[in-house]
């Protein structure tokens, strides 16, 4: 797997012992810094020369983000096009529509053409396109268990938990604080269902960015002397139907989308 714009892939090449010799608190922080361009791979003293040579080849020169995403999508589309859509439909929670594979996500239907290209009545953004293509390739069809895990509880999720909190949970918490009922109403528009345990100051909603990977959002409103809190958890079936990398990309994309919509609504 290429490490371009992918801190998880780079992290897998690092020792993972968080030795601190790069002057950062963890190997995951170092991987993220390299992807941002703030650190060079050679600043990790534990990397072997062959690994450094590979990283230099993949990271230099760097492409623009759009080019990298288009290249990643093209690679995934080629793999998806080789699938048997009849067999894939049942496994991923979708259905056949003619020659296309239809998949429901966030209350909308997305369609995979025979050549792997994606179409929908709404705009197809990279943050939904790339995880959805990967989902079709790796989903094992495990059913929901109603047992919820934090990002760190997923296999391989511990290393990226802090980054997920920063890029997904924290932006969503601020949106819930700033927009209140408008935030939760927007989630409802994208298929989120309010849980029976929800209260006026404590909301719990479940939604499906991927058909067989339920997300659970739990929000606690601020109280006197206490800040608000928001946590995203995943049904245990995510262990077999997804991976932390795609869930991180999807979660940060959802946060950015909701922020854009809410700001636009507020400006009207």
Q: Which residues pair with 108 in a beta bridge?
A: 105
For 229, the 3-state DSSP assignment is strand
More confident site: 123 or 109:
109
How many CA atoms does the CB half-sphere of 172 hold within 13 Å? 25
- Rounded CA-CA distance 179/256 in Å is 14
Tell me which DSSP letter residue 39 carries: S
Count the Cβ atoms, other than its own, within 10 Å of residue 49.
8
Reported as a pLDDT band with limits 50, 70 and 90, residue 2 is: low
More confident site: 126 or 176:
176
Task: Yes or no: say if 137 and 84 are a contact pair by the CB < 8 Å rule.
Answer: no
Say what percent of the chain tops pLDDT 90. Answer: 62
Structure confidence by residue, pLDDT tens digits, 7-59:
888 888 888 899 988 888 889 888 888 887 788 888 898 888 888 888 887 77
Residue with tokens 């995203």, as numbered in its chain: 232
7-59 in CATH: which number?
A: 1.10.15.40
Q: Which two tokens stand for residue 1?
A: 């797997």
Domain spans in the chain, listed from the N-terminal domain onward: 7-59, 65-138, 148-267
Q: Which two tokens stand for residue 130?
A: 């790339």
Return phi, psi of residue 97, to 5°: -130, 95
Reported as a pLDDT band with limits 50, 70 and 90, residue 98 is: very high
């Amino acid at each position: 797997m290429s490490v371009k714009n992918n801190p998880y892939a780079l992290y897998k090449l690092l020792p993972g012992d968080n030795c601190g010799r790069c002057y950062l608190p963890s190997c995951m922080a170092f991987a993220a810094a390299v992807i941002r361009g703030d650190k060079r791979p050679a600043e990790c003293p534990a990397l072997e020369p062959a690994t450094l040579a590979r990283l230099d080849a993949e990271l230099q020169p760097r492409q623009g983000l759009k080019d990298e995403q288009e290249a990643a999508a093209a690679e995934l589309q080629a793999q998806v096009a080789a699938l048997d859509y009849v067999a894939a439909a049942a496994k991923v929670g979708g259905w056949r529509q003619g020659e296309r594979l239809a998949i429901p996500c966030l209350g909308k239907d997305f369609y995979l053409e025979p050549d792997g290209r994606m179409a929908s009545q709404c705009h197809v953004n990279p943050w939904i396109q790339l995880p959805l293509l990967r989902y079709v390739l790796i989903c094992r069809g495990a059913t929901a268990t109603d047992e919820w895990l934090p990002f760190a509880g997923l296999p391989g999720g511990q290393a990226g938990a802090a980054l997920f909190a920063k890029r997904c949970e924290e932006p969503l918490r601020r949106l819930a604080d700033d927009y209140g009922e408008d935030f939760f109403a927007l989630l409802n528009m994208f298929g989120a269902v309010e849980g029976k345990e929800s209260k006026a100051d404590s909301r719990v909603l479940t939604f499906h960015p991927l058909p067989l990977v339920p997300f659970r959002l739990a929000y606690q409103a601020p109280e006197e002397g206490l800040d608000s809190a928001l946590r995203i958890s995943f049904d245990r079936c995510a262990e077999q139907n997804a991976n932390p990398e795609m869930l991180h990309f999807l979660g940060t994309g959802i946060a950015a989308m909701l922020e854009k919509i809410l700001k636009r609504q507020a400006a009207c």
